[in-house]
């Protein structure tokens, strides 16, 4: 899944025709990866399994995730019968907003994290391992804007990968992400 579409970039940039659609698609992929790298998280995903270690990823009744989790479908404990830990038996961390960073088995559930053979990979959580199932609107805009910025760079004759000295003696430093894109992304950065 992409955070933005070729059509959205073309509309934003005022591009007509379909001659550069493949290029724009490639730039969207690059822009999305740049956003994920800058923020140290993924903003969109689908349900997949992740496995966790008893002892390594657990602390008492708390299981700590190694990635953002937008939603949880199932949690399977590592005991001999692979018992499901139902949503009525745990609370999410944090409780009232996503992404989740972990879950804690309720004391009243009468369960603990366990394993039958090896603690490694004993717990399986199926969920959406991303900030959200679909990218937030401001992330969509940032990706559209960044892909447009990258598209427009193809027509510049300047080398923007190194400092440039102008005729007036002013040093222009190479660009990174555009400042408006950084401003949008800054609150989403995972430290």
Which pLDDT tens digit goes with each residue over 139-155? 999 999 999 999 998 87
> Which pair of tokens denotes residue 151?
């598209």
- For residue 51, pLDDT over 70 is answered with yes
Q: Is 153 helix (H, G, I), strand (E, B) or coil?
A: helix
Task: Collect contacts of 85-91 with beta carbons under 8 A, ≥24 apart.
Answer: 85/109, 85/111
Report d(CA 142, CA 148) in Å as an integer.
10
Residue with tokens 């995903």: 45
> What pLDDT score was predicted for residue 108?
96
Q: Which 8-state DSSP code applies to residue 80?
A: T
Q: With CA atoms as reference, report the closest residue to 63 among 129, 133, 122, 117.
A: 122
Q: What is the pTM of this model?
A: 0.82
pLDDT band at 171 (very low <50, low <70, confident <90, very high): low
Asked if 30 and 86 count as a contact pair (C-beta separation under 8 A), the reply is no
Residue 166 pLDDT class (50, 70, 90 cuts): low
Domain boundaries, the chain: 6-43+134-188, 47-128
Confidence class for position 185, pLDDT limits 50, 70, 90? very high
Copy the structure tokens of residue 88: 């009525």
Task: Report the pLDDT value the prediction gives residue 170, as an integer from 0 to 100.
Answer: 60
Band (104; pLDDT cuts 50, 70, 90): very high
Residues 146/178, Cβ–Cβ less than 8 Å: yes
Q: How many CB atoms lie within 10 A of CB 103?
A: 24
Q: What is the per-residue pLDDT for 165?
A: 59
Q: Can you give the pLDDT at residue 173?
A: 47
């Amino acid at each position: 899944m992409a955070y933005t579409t070729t059509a959205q970039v073309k509309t934003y940039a005022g591009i007509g025709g379909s001659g550069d659609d493949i290029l724009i698609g490639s730039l969207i992929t690059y822009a999305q990866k740049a956003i994920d790298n800058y923020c140290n998280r993924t903003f969109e995903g689908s349900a997949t399994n992740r496995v966790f270690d008893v002892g390594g990823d657990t602390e008492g009744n708390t299981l700590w995730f190694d990635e953002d989790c937008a939603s949880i479908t199932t949690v399977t404990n590592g005991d001999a019968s692979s018992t499901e830990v139902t949503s009525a038996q745990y609370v999410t961390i944090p409780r009232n907003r996503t992404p989740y960073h972990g879950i804690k088995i309720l004391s009243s559930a009468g369960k603990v994290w366990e394993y039958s053979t090896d603690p490694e990979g004993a717990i399986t959580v199926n969920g959406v391992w991303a900030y959200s199932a679909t990218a937030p609107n401001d992330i969509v805009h940032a990706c559209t804007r960044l892909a447009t910025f990258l598209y427009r760079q193809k027509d510049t004759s300047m080398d923007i990968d190194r400092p440039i000295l102008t005729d007036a003696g002013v040093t222009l430093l190479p660009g990174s992400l555009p400042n408006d894109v950084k401003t949008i992304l800054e609150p989403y950065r995972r430290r």
